[in-house]
């Protein structure tokens, strides 16, 4: 059983989206796809823009100006001690070093720095873990900085890398410090820094990051009260720092380099910094100068960001509870996969009841909604995958578009190709959108047919005996406006036969007023011809005269021809009569001759009965009429007088009252709008019958001997 179109398109869209989701679930962690995902994250940062940092963190950097002021790097620890004492005097709340003090220094400088650290109190020093190389244990005092409390976790923890060794500060400084924290950089696959490590396992313990230690110290939470929940995060006081299962914390960057308040180390030592940027703040001291490698790419700028500023961003993020949570795959599949499939189904439903353009527009809108949803989630602290849902929805939309193009719209394209030269563009558009209205192979319809031919074409051709191309141009000048008029009146051009036009109404699209539209087209064609003749007169060319035949009746319309070549055309007795009526227009001197059913459709128009005639090839007689104008013309006194006199003439003629018929004919001739050809025709017939009376069974029918 064939499924409805809407159901087929929904199944197609859902299948394409599900296939992409499945492939991502199996291969989504390959470097290329991960690179696209992280690139989308960087774009979301830039779309969001910088965030104003809080008032709690300041960065102090050993910069090029500091090197110029104090000589080569590393500086003497006496100078570092001066900086610590200066911070103490200015009221700094916490000092954190992003500088490793892994080697002792000669003299008493280590003791001087240890004394400055002890005298300050809340000073934190860094640890650096090594993930390759031989394993080794750290010094005894190291374990004092490990997590001592653990929360109950319902999730498994997975560390992709575990440290093999540690590079701590020298023991003198390590024991003097309030605590230690790791400053290891968590690189993503594209080499960018996107995570802090709130916990790293080493030698049976778990060690915090320097950012976690600094935040807890600033909030006055004793280290023993800080709790680690493996696979979930870190809690202290009234806040919880969420992490992924690898204990990584995505960094919610505050902005491009320089967003965090940053001071020069030299200016600090010299007392040239604003006290407001030191008092009651976490002050993080690091290095960033030409040739220093502690700088990394950021989402906002190609310019590298000092590692200490990244550390400061993490501290500020924790203090403001402004976390960026990365949704884990299980939750993603449960929530967002359903949302993407719902969008795919919606796109399919729209496609089933719309056009190709509607499907394309709807797909663009749905993609925009998806992107907007991802951005809104990001600005509310949720980092959702972007590449996977976008790829799945794109696959659904593309499958629908291809399906429409190759299957659904194929008939529409065929219709456009077949009818664009024969129908008005708006009618072709309707037919292309609804090809089911076109019955291929033939159907019976009541239609109105038109034949239009140039009178005296032989004489016209003689003007162009030496210029055949000129004759072709003339014919084209004639056919173009006639075609435009027919199409404008909802007609369909069947074919051109030299200087003849064949057209019809009420196919392939329904036209309840087909007879009136055809008659209106015939009158408009005469007006268009008058304009063309005015142009030809200025060019010294003969004017063109035309004859038009219109008839309404049952016909068969559809694709006619052979297996190799066919056209959309019309056949039937009513078609033949229309052709014969066009031929008789010359006989009666009428520009437009119409059949009886066409006359009935425009009974209120200016029509004149011409004759009761059996055209060549037919034995049955029909009444034929001349179409002289529309309903406005029918209401004119001149037409009313002429029609009355003409009816009198026909009545006397058919009663064999030749004298009365001749008198009525004379009255017709006396009127300005009479047809000399028509009057001459009946004058000749009356003369023949006066000389030789018609047989007793004469019924007034004229039997045509020519087409």
**What are 460-495's pLDDT values in tens digits?**
888 888 888 989 899 999 999 999 999 999 998 889
Same-domain status, 353 and 492 = no
The residue behind tokens 């925009």 is 368
Q: Comparing C-alpha atoms, which of 578, 577, 411 is closest to residue 508? A: 411
Buried b (16+ CB within 10 A) or exposed e, 322-360: ebbbbbeeeebbeebbeebbebbbbbbebbbeebbeebb
Domain count, the chain: 4
**What are 658-676's pLDDT values in tens digits?**
999 999 999 999 887 778 9
Same-domain status, 554 and 480 = yes
For the segment 355-369, the average pLDDT, to the nearest whole number, is 85
Q: Which of 306, 321, 336 is the last residue of a domain?
A: 321
Same-domain status, 642 and 620 = no
**CATH assignment at residue 458:** 3.30.70.1230
Domain extent for 297: 52-321
User: Is residue 271 in a domain?
Assistant: yes
| Proportion of the chain above pLDDT 90, given as a percent | 58
pLDDT for residue 308: 95
In this prediction, residue 260 has a pLDDT band, given cuts at 50, 70 and 90, of very high
For the segment 257-274, the average pLDDT, to the nearest whole number, is 94
Phi, psi values for residue 82, rounded to 5°: -60, -40
Same-domain status, 247 and 163 = yes
pLDDT for residue 636: 93
* Residues near 623 by beta carbon (within 8 Å), at least 6 away in sequence: 596, 599, 609, 611, 612, 613
pLDDT for residue 584: 93
Q: Which of 380, 400, 420 is the last residue of a domain?
A: 400
pLDDT for residue 601: 96
User: Is residue 405 in a domain?
Assistant: no
User: Is residue 192 in a domain?
Assistant: yes
User: What SS3 class is residue 455?
Assistant: strand
Same-domain status, 114 and 258 = yes
User: Is residue 383 in a domain?
Assistant: yes
In this prediction, residue 517 has a pLDDT band, given cuts at 50, 70 and 90, of very high
Say yes or no to pLDDT of 2 above 50: no
Neighbours of 438 (CB within 10 A): 22
Q: Which of 285, 306, 321 is the last residue of a domain?
A: 321
Instruction: Name the least confident of 55-69, 108-122, 507-521, 566-580.
Output: 566-580
User: Is residue 415 in a domain?
Assistant: no
Tokens of 167: 């590079």
Instruction: Name the least confident of 249-258, 404-413, 487-496, 518-527.
Output: 404-413
Same-domain status, 516 and 652 = no
Same-domain status, 314 and 379 = no
Same-domain status, 149 and 180 = yes
The residue behind tokens 């796109």 is 347
User: Does residue 606 contact residue 628 with C-beta atoms inside 8 Å?
Assistant: yes
User: Does residue 199 contact residue 235 with C-beta atoms inside 8 Å?
Assistant: no
Alpha carbon distance 60, 285 (integer Å):
5
Same-domain status, 317 and 448 = no
pLDDT for residue 20: 86
Same-domain status, 148 and 290 = yes
Instruction: Name the least confident of 20-24, 179-183, 198-202, 644-648.
Output: 20-24
Q: What angle do CA 198, 201, 203 make, to 5 degrees?
A: 145
The Cα-based distances of 175 to 101, 125, 348 in angstroms read 12, 10, 67
> Which is more confident, 301 or 423?
301
Burial of residue 488, with CB atoms counted within 10 A of its CB: 0-12 exposed, 13-18 middle, 19 or more buried:
middle
User: Does residue 250 contact residue 325 with C-beta atoms inside 8 Å?
Assistant: yes
Alpha carbon distance 598, 550 (integer Å):
7
User: Is residue 296 in a domain?
Assistant: yes
Same-domain status, 156 and 182 = yes
For the segment 582-606, the average pLDDT, to the nearest whole number, is 95
Same-domain status, 305 and 341 = no
User: Does residue 177 contact residue 169 with C-beta atoms inside 8 Å?
Assistant: yes
User: What SS3 class is residue 434?
Assistant: coil
For the segment 323-345, the average pLDDT, to the nearest whole number, is 74
User: Is residue 425 in a domain?
Assistant: no
User: Is residue 413 in a domain?
Assistant: no
Buried b (16+ CB within 10 A) or exposed e, 605-614: bbbbebbebb
Task: Kindly report whether the global pTM for this prediction surpasses the value 0.85.
Answer: no
pLDDT for residue 402: 83
């Amino acid at each position: 059983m064939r499924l409805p179109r809407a159901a087929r398109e929904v199944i197609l869209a859902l299948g394409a989206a599900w296939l992409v989701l499945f492939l991502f679930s199996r291969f989504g962690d390959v470097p290329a796809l991960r690179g696209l995902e992280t690139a989308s994250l960087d774009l979301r940062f830039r779309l969001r823009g910088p965030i104003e940092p809080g008032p709690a963190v300041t960065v102090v950097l050993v910069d090029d100006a500091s090197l110029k002021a104090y000589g080569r790097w590393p500086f003497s620890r006496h100078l570092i001690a001066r900086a610590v004492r200066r911070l103490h005097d200015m009221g700094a709340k916490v000092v954190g070093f992003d500088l490793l003090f892994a080697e002792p220094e000669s003299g008493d400088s280590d003791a001087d720095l240890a004394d400055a650290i002890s005298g300050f109190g809340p000073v934190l020093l860094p640890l650096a873990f090594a993930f390759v190389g031989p394993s080794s244990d750290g010094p005894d005092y190291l374990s004092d900085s490990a997590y001592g409390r653990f929360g109950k976790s319902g999730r498994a923890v997975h560390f992709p890398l575990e440290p093999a060794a540690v590079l701590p500060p020298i023991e003198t400084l390590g024991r003097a410090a309030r605590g230690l924290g790791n400053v290891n950089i968590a690189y993503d696959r594209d080499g960018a820094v996107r995570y802090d490590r709130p916990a790293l396992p080493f030698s049976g313990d778990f060690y915090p990051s320097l950012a976690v230690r600094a935040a807890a110290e600033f909030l006055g939470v004793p280290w023993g009260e800080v709790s680690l929940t493996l696979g979930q995060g870190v809690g202290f006081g009234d806040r919880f720092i969420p992490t992924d299962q690898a204990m990584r914390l995505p960094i919610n960057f505050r902005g491009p380099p320089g967003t965090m308040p940053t001071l020069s180390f030299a200016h600090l030592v010299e007392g040239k910094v604003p006290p407001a940027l030191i008092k009651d703040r976490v002050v993080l001291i690091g290095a960033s100068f030409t040739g220093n490698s502690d700088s990394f790419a950021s989402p906002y700028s190609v310019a590298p960001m000092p590692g200490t500023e990244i550390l400061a961003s993490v501290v500020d993020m924790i203090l403001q509870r402004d976390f960026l949570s990365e949704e884990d795959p299980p939750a993603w599949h449960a929530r967002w996969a359903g949302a993407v499939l719902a969008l795919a189904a919606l796109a399919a439903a729209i496609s089933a009841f719309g056009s190709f353009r509607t499907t394309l527009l709807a797909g663009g809108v749905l993609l925009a909604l998806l992107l907007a949803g991802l951005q809104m989630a990001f600005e509310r602290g949720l980092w959702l995958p972007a590449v996977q849902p976008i790829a799945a929805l794109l696959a659904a939309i593309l499958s629908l578009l291809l399906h429409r193009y190759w299957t659904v719209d194929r008939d529409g394209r065929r219709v456009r190709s077949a009818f664009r030269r024969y129908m008005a563009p708006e009618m072709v558009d309707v037919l292309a959108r609804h090809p089911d209205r076109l019955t291929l192979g033939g159907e019976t319809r009541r239609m109105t047919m038109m034949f239009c031919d140039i009178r005296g074409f032989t004489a016209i051709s003689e003007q162009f005996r030496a210029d055949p191309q000129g004759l072709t141009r003339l014919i084209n000048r004639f056919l173009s406006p006639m075609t435009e008029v027919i199409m404008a009146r909802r007609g369909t051009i069947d074919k051109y036969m030299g200087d003849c036009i064949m057209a019809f109404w009420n196919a392939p699209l329904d036209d309840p007023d087909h007879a009136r539209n055809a008659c209106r087209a015939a009158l408009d064609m005469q007006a268009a011809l008058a304009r063309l003749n005015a142009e030809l007169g200025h060019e010294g060319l003969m004017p063109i005269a035309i004859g038009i035949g219109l008839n309404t009746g049952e016909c068969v319309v559809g694709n006619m021809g052979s297996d190799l070549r066919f056209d959309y055309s019309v056949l039937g007795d009513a078609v033949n009569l229309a052709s014969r009526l066009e031929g008789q227009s010359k006989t009666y001197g009428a520009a437009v001759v119409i059949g009886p059913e066409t006359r009935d459709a425009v009974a209120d128009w200016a029509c004149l009965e011409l004759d009761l005639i059996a055209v060549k090839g037919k034995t049955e007689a029909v009444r034929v009429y001349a179409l002289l104008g529309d309903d406005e013309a029918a209401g004119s006194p001149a037409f009313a007088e002429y029609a009355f006199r003409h009816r009198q003439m026909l009545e006397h003629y058919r009663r064999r009252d030749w004298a009365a018929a001749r008198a009525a004919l004379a009255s017709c001739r006396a009127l300005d709008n009479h047809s000399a050809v028509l009057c001459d025709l009946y004058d000749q017939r009356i003369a023949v019958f006066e000389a030789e009376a018609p047989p007793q069974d004469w019924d007034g029918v004229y039997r045509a001997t020519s087409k």
